[in-house]
Amino acid sequence: MKASSLFILLVFLTTVGLFSQPLSFGLAPRLVAPITTDAQVGQGWGLEAWSKLEIGPGNGVKFKLGYQQIGDYNSAVETKHTYVFPDRTIIQTEFARIKGLETWYMDLSFWQFTWDIKSPWSFELGARYSFSTQARGRYELRQSLSFGSGRFSSGGFAEEMLRTQDFGLHLSGAFELFDGCLLEAQAYQGLLNQWKDFEDFEGPTLYVTTLSIGLAFRLF
Amino acid sequence: MKNLYYFSLAFMIAALASNCEKEPPLITFEEVYVSPVYTQFVYRDTGQADYTYQEYRLGSFLNSDTPAYQWNEWDKITSRGPALLVDIKERSVWNTFYRFGLEFWAAPGEEEALWSEAHLKRMFEPGSVFSFGEGPGKVDLSFAHRDPDFFEDERSKATFLKQPTGRLSITQTEDYSYTPPGRETVSGVLVHCTFEGRIGQYDRFEGAWLDDFTTDTALEIREGKATFFIAYR
């Protein structure tokens, strides 16, 4: 729902912009390589719709709305709480392992040609807000009550363990292959740990770091 | 603008370097919480020269090979008036054995709602004393000191004696609550007490299961200390 609203906003801005400033609109599929903990390189992909507005000669701003899936993470936590109350003993075990992340994001960046307006090279510096982040991986919650009072377990990643938002910075370089098509390379660093904070101990960390490469096609 | 690019580039390199740090593939955390209830005393059987030490401590099974003990408390109406019971049972997957218990009768003339916070704090006010026996203002102490052979409940009781002797003194009370995961908080009072006296010994061949059973054979109990929990009604 959020994503569709943002898409409408993007189209609206594009439409309004058409009558005021030089503006273009396009799509950019990407191959994404997340740098997981221990310097392993994972796999992923993304797709973004972009809108580019020229402010001055050779520079401007770019707004993007994208979706991304990244994988090959291996970050896990297991907690075991034993509660011995006067009339019952409860053992609660929670296990969660993040293998991948999928997220929507909005991106606002400043772009500029490197040397002059005729150069095929350009740079881009921007900030990204990720939302509706979901984890792929194993999740288990087991609670056993002593003395035959029952036991249950559940599957599905608990929202309580995952931060569903992120904020980060990215730096991109682009080369115009031909009119209307750019080859882009980007490095992104998220600033928020995607695991939520644990109250009683220092839990695992997963900061999103990605390198990506893609083609940006100008549609109009 | 160029400075900003250089700064961003440096930031990205630093971020990539930080992601090269090792982290265990699984981080584990374990925590144990045990409510502070227990009972301990020494007892002497008829003909014994020495006292035997006995202790029931909640959660002791976590660190030793002692059985798991469970504290239960409930109230009931008896022929001598409303009573509050606290008992300790040894629990295993297959069996339950009664081990120790206290049965308190409310003193008459108390205005507060029965077993409410105000009533329990008044009833167990530090310094108050409950004599062993049956009826308002008294306590019946029971203890199953032998493993049962034929019956599940072979408790010896203070009220088995024709003339019960002994007393239980309240030394301290404190508010206490606990919250089982996913359930509502249970609020009540922790009662600290000391006790000593004589209790009538169970006799499986003389009809100890009958209501009017009495005996002169006693177990002596000394140096008793306990902390038990009563939930507010």
Helix (H, G, I), strand (E, B) or coil at A202: coil
Q: Which stretches of chain A sit within 8 Å of chain B by CB?
A: 35-39, 74-90, 92, 97, 112, 123, 125, 143, 146-148, 169, 171, 187, 189, 198, 200-205, 207, 209
With respect to residue B19, please indicate whether it lies within any of the assigned structural domains. no
Q: What is the mean pLDDT of residues A173-185?
A: 93
Determine, for residues B27 and A204 on separate chains, whether the beta-carbon distance falls below 8 Å.
Answer: yes
Q: What is the mean pLDDT of residues B43-62?
A: 90
pLDDT digits (tens, 9 = 90+) for A99-143: 999 999 999 999 888 777 778 899 999 999 999 999 999 888 888
With respect to residue B39, please indicate whether it lies within any of the assigned structural domains. no
DSSP string, A65-76: EEEEEEEEEEEE
With respect to residue B27, please indicate whether it lies within any of the assigned structural domains. no
All residues at 6 or more sequence positions from A170 whose CB lies less than 8 Å from its CB, including other chains: A107, A109, A124, A125, A126, A127, A128, A186, A187, A188, A189
Burial zone of A1 (CB within 10 Å; 0-12 exposed, 13-18 middle, 19+ buried): exposed
With respect to residue B211, please indicate whether it lies within any of the assigned structural domains. yes
Residues of A in contact with B73 (CB under 8 A): 86-87
* pLDDT band for position A19 (cuts 50, 70, 90): very low
Q: Which residue of B has its CA nearest to A206?
A: B19
Instruction: Assess contact for A29 and A213: CB atoms under 8 A.
Output: no
pLDDT digits (tens, 9 = 90+) for A60-110: 999 999 999 999 999 999 999 999 999 888 988 889 999 999 999 999 999
Would you state the pLDDT for residue B50?
92
Determine, for residues B28 and A77 on separate chains, whether the beta-carbon distance falls below 8 Å.
Answer: yes
Tokens encoding B88: 């300790």
Residues of B in contact with A169 (CB under 8 A): 8, 11-12
With respect to residue B128, please indicate whether it lies within any of the assigned structural domains. yes
All residues at 6 or more sequence positions from B205 whose CB lies less than 8 Å from its CB, including other chains: none
Q: Count of alpha carbons within 13 Å of A22, Cβ hemisphere only? A: 7
Would you state the pLDDT for residue A23?
87
Give the domain extent around B167: 45-231
As a whole number of angstroms, the distance between CA B185 and CA B138 comes to 30
All residues at 6 or more sequence positions from B195 whose CB lies less than 8 Å from its CB, including other chains: B41, B141, B166, B167, B168, B169, B221, B224, B225, B226
Whether the per-residue pLDDT at B97 is higher than 60: the answer is yes
* pLDDT band for position A20 (cuts 50, 70, 90): low
**Greatest Cα-to-Cα distance within chain A, rounded to the nearest angstrom:** 79
With respect to residue B226, please indicate whether it lies within any of the assigned structural domains. yes
Instruction: Assess contact for A113 and B62: CB atoms under 8 A.
Output: no
Residues of B in contact with A79 (CB under 8 A): 28-31
Within 10 angstroms of residue B219's Cβ, the number of other Cβ atoms is 23
Q: Count of alpha carbons within 13 Å of A80, Cβ hemisphere only? A: 5
pLDDT digits (tens, 9 = 90+) for A25-62: 999 999 999 998 777 899 999 999 999 998 888 889 99
Does the predicted TM-score (pTM) go above 0.90?
no
Residues of B in contact with A98 (CB under 8 A): none
| Contacts within 8 Å (CB) and 24+ apart, A41-44 | A41/A72, A42/A70, A42/A71, A42/A72, A42/A73, A42/A100, A43/A70, A43/A71, A43/A72, A44/A68, A44/A69, A44/A70, A44/A71, A44/A100, A44/A210
For A73-84, give one letter per residue: b (16+ CB within 10 A) or e.
bbbbbebebbbb
Q: What is the ipTM of this complex?
A: 0.86
Within 10 angstroms of residue A14's Cβ, the number of other Cβ atoms is 20
Determine, for residues B37 and A36 on separate chains, whether the beta-carbon distance falls below 8 Å.
Answer: no
As a whole number of angstroms, the distance between CA B198 and CA B163 comes to 10
Whether the per-residue pLDDT at A12 is higher than 80: the answer is no
Count of structural domains within chain B: 1
Burial zone of A63 (CB within 10 Å; 0-12 exposed, 13-18 middle, 19+ buried): buried
Would you state the pLDDT for residue A190?
95
With respect to residue B57, please indicate whether it lies within any of the assigned structural domains. yes
For A99-115, give one letter per residue: b (16+ CB within 10 A) or e.
ebbbbbbbbebbbbbee
With respect to residue B25, please indicate whether it lies within any of the assigned structural domains. no
All residues at 6 or more sequence positions from B151 whose CB lies less than 8 Å from its CB, including other chains: B204, B209
pLDDT digits (tens, 9 = 90+) for A189-218: 999 999 999 888 999 999 999 999 999 999
* Mean pLDDT for all residues in chain B: 87
Determine, for residues A84 and B35 on separate chains, whether the beta-carbon distance falls below 8 Å.
Answer: yes
Whether the per-residue pLDDT at A162 is higher than 50: the answer is yes
Instruction: Assess contact for B148 and B154: CB atoms under 8 A.
Output: yes
Radius of gyration of the CA atoms of chain B, in A: 26
All structural domains of chain A: 2-218 (2.40.160.20)
